[in-house]
Amino acid sequence: MANREVQKHAPSKRELDEIRALIERDLADAALPGLSADRRFATAYNAALQTCKMAIASAGYRVASGAGHHKTSFEAVKLAMASTADAYADYFDTCRRKRNILEYTSSHVATQTEAEELVQKAIEFREFVERWIETNHPALKA
């Protein structure tokens, strides 16, 4: 990764707590009855992306905003968490492609099954990252 994409960053507990609030909001919104599968998918995806951001920040880095920052985030979280998050990052990167289509090109892209799976994976990943933070960066734990 180019130096401009991932930069050193000194995180604060407050910063992480604000990210946690975004994650909780998105997970709650993704569970709202009557929400389309596309919207559930996109909202759960954002929760997963924010969870990556939290892990990366805990490790002392941040991904610069700009073109490709979602993809970079999924690559960077693998490095930040010493490859323990590889399976999650790969899954969410696959979801990224579908999310791009439903956000920018077409509607009715995600199925209810896909949306539900992504919601569950986002919840699992959040719990996984929180355990990792508690073990590796206890000053930043929830």
Q: What is the pTM of this model?
A: 0.94
pLDDT of residue 128: 97
| Residues contacting residue 120 through CB under 8 Å, at least 6 positions apart | none
pLDDT number for residue 3: 57
Long-range contacts of 112-120 (CB under 8 A, 24+ apart): 112/37, 112/40, 114/37, 114/41, 115/30, 115/37, 115/38, 115/40, 115/41, 115/44, 116/40, 118/40, 118/41, 118/44, 118/45, 118/48, 119/27, 119/30, 119/31, 119/40, 119/44
Q: Does residue 58 contact residue 15 with C-beta atoms inside 8 Å?
A: no
Q: Give the model's pLDDT for residue 12.
A: 94
Are residues 120 and 92 in contact, defined by beta-carbon separation less than 8 angstroms?
A: no
- With vertex at residue 56, the alpha carbon angle to CA 111 and CA 136, rounded to the nearest 5 degrees, is 115
For each of the domains in the chain, give its residue range(s) and CATH number, in order of start. 11-140 (1.20.120.330)
- Give the single-character DSSP code of 9: -
Output the pLDDT for position 141: 94
Residue 44 near residue 118, CB atoms below 8 Å: yes
Phi, psi dihedral angles at 8 (to 5 degrees): -60, 145
Please give the chain's pLDDT, 142 residues, in tens: 545 788 899 999 999 999 999 999 999 999 999 999 999 999 999 999 999 999 999 999 999 888 889 999 999 999 999 989 999 999 999 999 999 999 999 999 999 999 999 999 999 999 999 999 999 999 999 9
For residue 72, what pLDDT is reported? 93
